[in-house]
Structure 1
């Protein structure tokens, strides 16, 4: 009985457009709206780094055509005073991935490193992963750099 209803030409005219509209609405609803081409963005994350020490990582991005030029800064600071104990700065590029990712490559002290931020719709608290062990990885904050 159900197959007869679904095979009816009028049913197909109604159901197929509804399914297509539903797919388009759900697939675009989860797409991140920030950052888009031309946006300036910043990302910062901190993680425990041992006794009295916090590891950190920041990414500062400026538009460069369809991608971004990035400056990545990583290191450690004293938890209590905030005094910087180590600092490593690299320059590179970043792009939006096909999936929900924003990734990049940078060179610090002659070594090529990578990072990825997992974008989640309009959320600004995002998980990150840096290949440089001196950088903090974890959930940090994405901002417009204002």
Structure 2
């Protein structure tokens, strides 16, 4: 697989400039024209690697994770709205209502169910592999300690 690259120059909702650079393999499985798969991988990676909530919780913000999740879901609602051909029809619905509607009906589409199930399996496989590697590292450390004692 070839590496792909993209750079996004944009502004956040407050007008502050933001630049996002991404390099990785675009599998071209979801979209065969390229680009979308890598974009999706980048977003999933950013979500998976969300850090910094421990400090906020220790500072007394016990709902920091819920706040982060709510803002991510709100952005997903914006995505649903932007993908829709019927944006005018959706103007009376909040982003969160669009997410809720999606969650209530995603299982009606067998192609989406299949995609989500495959993604869940990939997540589970990656988790098992990570745990296997962690166990192997731990076992190697223990073996080294034991051999040093002899």
When normalised by structure 2's length, the TM-score is: 0.23
Q: Which has the higher helix share?
A: 2
Q: Greater relative contact order: 1 or 2 (C-alpha under 8 angstroms, separation 6 or more)?
A: 1
Q: Which has the higher strand share?
A: 1
* Rg larger in structure: 1
